[in-house]
Structure 1
Amino acid sequence: MVTRVPGWLLRHRISVEPYLGDAAYGPRYGERVECVPALVAAVRKQIADKDGRDTLATAQIIAGPELECPPGSRLTLPDGRTATVISTARHTAPGLPVPACTEVMCE
């Protein structure tokens, strides 16, 4: 039975700076994590952000279920572009033969 997305499917590498919150001089980010295995796809999809406003997502990332990447985090994509996380969803299906993963939508 498959319990997590297989590593061989995660062909790209991204960098993640987790969003910690706002400070007096703007957003604060955690320590940068380099070379995170992921599958990155260019998309153009209208989604709701954490405040319920419609936003255009331009990248979809699939990564392992352990990825810590809250909305507002900064990602560096394989092409060098910096993207901001709009939403994060953990997909699990205990008892079913489908992989657990984290889906991240970015602008």
Structure 2
Amino acid sequence: MAGIPRFLLAQAGSDVVIEAYEGSGAYGDIYGDPVTVRAVVDASRRLVRDDAGTEVVSETTLYAPLSTVAPAGSRVTLPDGTSSTVITAKRRDGGRLPVPSHVEVVLT
């Protein structure tokens, strides 16, 4: 399975920090430890559907390695220091096809 080409991550990629949403507790939301991931950041506005099917506006989309864990509700810190929330994350696994397998992370 082919991932995002290394040259693309090296030239167009940026480091983002993801804190995976783990649930809600007595004192608010619970997040996992921060994990730094190299991803391609596409800062363009588009209309998307969240996991419940509701239409929402996304300001940024990340294209990250297939091993990236970012469930809906996770916190993401972008390279410019902006904090955002994951609307949805979709695995784009091409299997044996010669396409770049990745996780598409849609942010508010």
- Normalised by the length of structure 1, the TM-score is 0.92
Query: Which residue in 1 is equivalent to 2:39?
Result: 38
Q: How far apart in 2 are the matches of 1:13 and 1:7?
A: 14
Letter in 1 for 2:79: P
Once the two structures are superposed, residues 25-55 of structure 1 have per-residue CA deviations (whole angstroms, 9 ceiling, x without a partner) of: 2211001113x10000111111111222211
Q: How far apart in 1 are the matches of 2:95 and 2:63?
A: 18
61-70 or 19-28, which deviates more: 19-28
SS of alignment partner, residue 79 of structure 2 = coil
Query: Which residue in 2 is equivalent to 1:101?
Result: 102
Consecutive aligned runs of 4 or more in structure 1 exceeding 6 Å deviation: none
Q: How far apart in 2 are the matches of 1:44 and 1:70?
A: 20
Aligned length: 105
Q: How far apart in 1 are the matches of 2:4 and 2:14?
A: 14
SS of alignment partner, residue 59 of structure 2 = strand
> Counting strand residues as a fraction of each chain, which structure ranks higher?
1
Percent identity over the alignment is 37
Q: How far apart in 2 are the matches of 1:37 and 1:92?
A: 18
Q: How does 1:26-105 map to 2 (within 5 A)?
A: 26-34=28-36, 36-105=37-106
Deviation at 1:8, TM superposition (A): 2.6
Query: Which residue in 2 is equivalent to 1:8?
Result: 7
Q: Please, what is the CA RMSD of the aligned residues?
A: 1.2
Deviation at 1:95, TM superposition (A): 2.5
Unpaired stretches in structure 2, ≥5 consecutive residues: none
- Normalised by the length of structure 2, the TM-score is 0.91
